[in-house]
Structures are given as C-alpha cells and as structure tokens.
Structure 1
Amino acid sequence: MTFTRAKIVMAMTLAAGLGLTACSSNNDEKKQTTLTASAPATGEASTLSERNAQQRLVKTLEQHFKTAGIQAKITEVKTTEVPNLYWVSLEGMSAVYATSDGKYIFQGDVIRLGDKQLHNVGESLQAGTNKQIFASLKEQDLLIYKAKGETKHIIYVFTDVSCPYCHKLHEHMDELNSQGIEVRYIAWPRGEQFIPAMESVWCSQDRHAAFDQAIAGAELPAASCKTPVREHYQLGLNIGVNGTPAIYSADGVYLGGYLSPSELLKRLNN
C-alpha cells in the first residue's frame, strides 16, 4: 500500500477533519525527491492594499464556511507566488489554498514548472509555520536522542511504536547520533488503538527504554500520568502529517518518511 503526502480533497472534508493513515513507505519518498522548496516567498502583505485584500478574503471565507456548515477558524493568510492565490492556515486543520475572491479552496501541492527541478509553491510557507511550532515545543514533552559529540543537525520525527518504518528508522539511531544528528521524537499514534502504547512510553520513568521495548512489540503497563500524546497528534494534523515516520528539519522543512542515514544526511546538508 502506498500513500501520498498531500491529497486534493473536497471542502467538506474540512468539516470532518483529516483521517488517519498507515506508515509512510520508502516508495513514497521517491516521489518526493524531485520536489524542492519554492523560490523565496515571504508571504507577507507588503502594502496597505494587499493587507486590505487579505482582510476581505478572511471575511469572505468566514461567511462561506458558515454557509456551508464548515467549522474552521482562520489563523493566518499569506500571499503566494501564484497570482490571486493565497495560503490560508486553519486552526486544528491543514492549511488550504484559496482564490482571491474566496470562492474556491483546495488542499494539495501547487507545483511551479519551467526549471529542471519542480518547485512546491507552499513548501516554504508551511516550513516557516512549522519552524515556529517546533521551537515552541518543550523538551520534556519530547523523546530526545542527543547527538554524539558536536550537534550538527536537529530533526523532528513524528513516530508511532506500531509503525514498521518507524522501527526501521529507530534501528539507525546510533548511526544518526554518531553523525551529529539529534533526533527529537514527537508522538503520533496512527489510530485510537495505538494511543495507549504511546501514552505508556511517554509516562515511563525511562522513556528511552520504554520506547525500545514498545517498538520491539512488548506490551507496557498502562499509562498513569498526563501526557502530550493527543496534543502531539493534533499538532501533526495541523501541519499536514498523514503517516509515520514524518521527518522535519529544525527549519520546518519536510524531509521525507523513512530515509536511510546517508540519504537523510544528504537532505540535511542540501
């Protein structure tokens, strides 16, 4: 079974939220290798007329959402390099594109053609939001594997102990740490049935040992503390995670699903 990172969905999907998916596969990442961040696009409204246009768009979208019965709160609007197309962030949901008249919204990738490489228009815009989110996370809420020696890179990985590709990535932890990569796990159970196992890991006094046991298939004692697991899951939905592992740089750039240590280091150094 294969999975795509972004899907074009109907507007009504927003009302129901995004569904859970299974592990990302290595085959999916081959589809991503030709995609790079778009050309510089700050997303900032540089003129008064542009700010007014964004305010009108927000009001129009809010009215359309209300009419359609879509429970969605707009948190931010950014311009894109595509004329009359905006990037709209929604609370508790993945961002969408919207036309300037507010009549059409869609989710998915907008790709710019014309160069040897394809350019994902929204990637740099989403990365900026991701960077702020990752920087706001508390270290005590994460499962961190420190780099050995100098820390050259920090990555954030949405993971699930039931995911085979997460297991495969975890097997390379010593190699990743030895190459100066600090790995920060964010809990992202792929279904309600996997939440107890992740909560048990996050509740354990030795979270590292508990994760090793759980990802190897061991059953852990039931959680007996408050954990950030459900908050982590919602965070993943907000930025577009739809499978595990989902690997991001500290700058918020999506690097891929499962990657070998050499391929991961190559992408980090690009």
Structure 2
Amino acid sequence: MAHADDAAIRQSLAKLGVQSTEIQASPVAGMKTVLTHSGVLYVTDDGKHIIQGPMYDVSGAHPVNVTNKLLMSQLNALEKEMIVYKAPDEKHVITVFTDITCGYCHKLHEEMKDYNALGITVRYLAFPRQGLESQAEQDMKSIWCAKDKNKAFDDAMAGKGVKPASCDMNIADHYALGVQLGVSGTPAIVLSNGYVVPGYQGPKEMKAFLDEHQKQTSGK
C-alpha cells in the first residue's frame, strides 16, 4: 500500500513516464517495490535510484525469484478467468500463457490428455503475441467469453474457427501480467512459485522438470 512518503518515488517515476499501479514494501531495507504495467521496479525510498529486473533471494539452498513470487498473487486472482484442464490425479499445476495463432501452443494443447494423465493440471491465460488490437486478441476474447470456454478453446485449437462472443472480461489483464512476469513469447509456462519456463515442453519432459524443480525448491 502506498503512503504519503511515497511522493518522491512517484515524482521520479513521472520523470520516466512510468505510472505505478501499486507501491509496497520490498524485501530490501530502504527500497520499495513498485508494480507497473510494464513490470516490477525497485526504487530507493528517496526516489533517486531505480532498479529494473528480477530480484533473487539467495539466502536459502536455491535462489528464489521474489519478483515473480510476488506476482503470483495477481496471477491467482485471475483464477476464475482461466481455462482449466484439470488432471484426475493432480500432482502439479502449471499456468500457460497461450496464443491460438502459436504453433507450439497448438502442439501443447494437442497433448493435453498426456499432461493430465501425468498429473499435470493446465490453466490457460491469453497472451496475444501481436498485441491487444490484433485479430488474435479479439478471437481469444470471444473464446474466454464463450458459455463453454473449454469447448470454444478446443475448437479454435482444432482449426474449427471462433464464434464471436462478448463479455466484460479483459484480455489486457492477462497480457499485462504476462509482461510483468517477463513473458515475451508463447507458450510460456508459469510454475506455482512464479518460475517461468519459456517455450514448449513435452508431457514427459514437463513432468520430469516439475518433479526435479519441486525437489530442489523443497530442499528434499
């Protein structure tokens, strides 16, 4: 939460043409965490120094990207908007930023039964690579506004086209969060701790990676 003494920070951001969406405490004394539409910044309390990029906590056995971990609360706040393919025997949950015009996104979706069979639940958010004014963005909004989102998404990925639909959801929220997490292409796979895996991973490779990552981060 921002306070009156954040005025110096807001003034410095204004010089750069950056508008903050939220200012909060950071893990480092003397600095604040600033959430913006284009990413996370770390700014000294006096507003004189700004650092852009992920911050890592290396105090434990394995480095932790605290920047992306912070953003996971925003990601989970979008849970009701996600298109979810739940594994019957869930062992892992991944969130995938996807684009219906992306070849490897199609490949990933074609193998959904295999991911699910391995205990991997897949949650989709939209990330139109060509921007928020693109045809892909319009089509994905129609999918996310469909009465049966999963069927609409399945049909689009199978090349059956997209039926126009409208609602008050905003694809821009998905896109902005992707940018904040450092997503620049699709598919981008986000793990439950905010770790981002860029690009396609096959079902078996994904399962092996998730198992190993879980061991490392749990210290087991």
TM-score normalised by the chain length of structure 2: 0.77
The answer on 1:137 being equivalent to 2:78 is: yes
- Aligned mates of 1:257, 1:106 — CA distance in 2: 27
The answer on 1:196 being equivalent to 2:141 is: no
Map 1:78-93 → 2, pairs under 5 A: 78-80=26-28, 86=31, 88-93=33-38
SS of the residue aligned with 1:157? strand
Give the gaps of 5 or more residues in structure 1: 1-54, 114-118
1:128 match: 69
The answer on 1:154 being equivalent to 2:154 is: no
Tell me how far 1:89 sits from its aligned partner: 2.8
- Equivalences, count: 206
- Aligned mates of 2:157, 2:21 — CA distance in 1: 36
Pick closer, same or farther for the CA change 1:157–1:57 going to 2, 3 Å.
farther
- Aligned mates of 1:131, 1:147 — CA distance in 2: 21
- Aligned mates of 1:106, 1:185 — CA distance in 2: 31
- Aligned mates of 1:73, 1:220 — CA distance in 2: 33
Q: Which amino acid aligns with 1:172?
A: E
Map 1:59-138 → 2, pairs under 5 A: 59-80=7-28, 86=31, 88-98=33-43, 102-108=47-53, 123-138=64-79
Q: Which amino acid aligns with 1:189?
A: P
| Native 8 Å contact 2:68 2:195 kept in 1 | yes
Q: Which amino acid aligns with 1:64?
A: S
Pick closer, same or farther for the CA change 1:69–1:165 going to 2, 3 Å.
same
| Native 8 Å contact 1:134 1:252 kept in 2 | no
| Native 8 Å contact 1:76 1:89 kept in 2 | yes
Pick closer, same or farther for the CA change 1:111–1:129 going to 2, 3 Å.
closer
The answer on 1:265 being equivalent to 2:204 is: no
Pick closer, same or farther for the CA change 1:66–1:204 going to 2, 3 Å.
closer
Pick closer, same or farther for the CA change 1:86–1:131 going to 2, 3 Å.
same
Which gives a bigger RCO, structure 1 or 2 (Cα 8 Å, sep 6+)? 1
2:181 match: 239
2:165 match: 223
Pick closer, same or farther for the CA change 1:221–1:87 going to 2, 3 Å.
same
Deviates more, 1:95-104 or 1:171-180: 95-104
SS of the residue aligned with 1:103? coil
Pick closer, same or farther for the CA change 1:89–1:100 going to 2, 3 Å.
closer
1:173 match: 112
Tell me how far 1:211 sits from its aligned partner: 1.3
Percent identical residues:
37
- Aligned mates of 1:243, 1:189 — CA distance in 2: 9
Q: Which amino acid aligns with 2:165?
A: A
- Aligned mates of 2:57, 2:159 — CA distance in 1: 44
Tell me how far 1:236 sits from its aligned partner: 2.1
- Aligned mates of 1:231, 1:200 — CA distance in 2: 15
Give the gaps of 5 or more residues in structure 2: 214-220
- Aligned mates of 2:160, 2:210 — CA distance in 1: 33
SS of the residue aligned with 2:65? helix
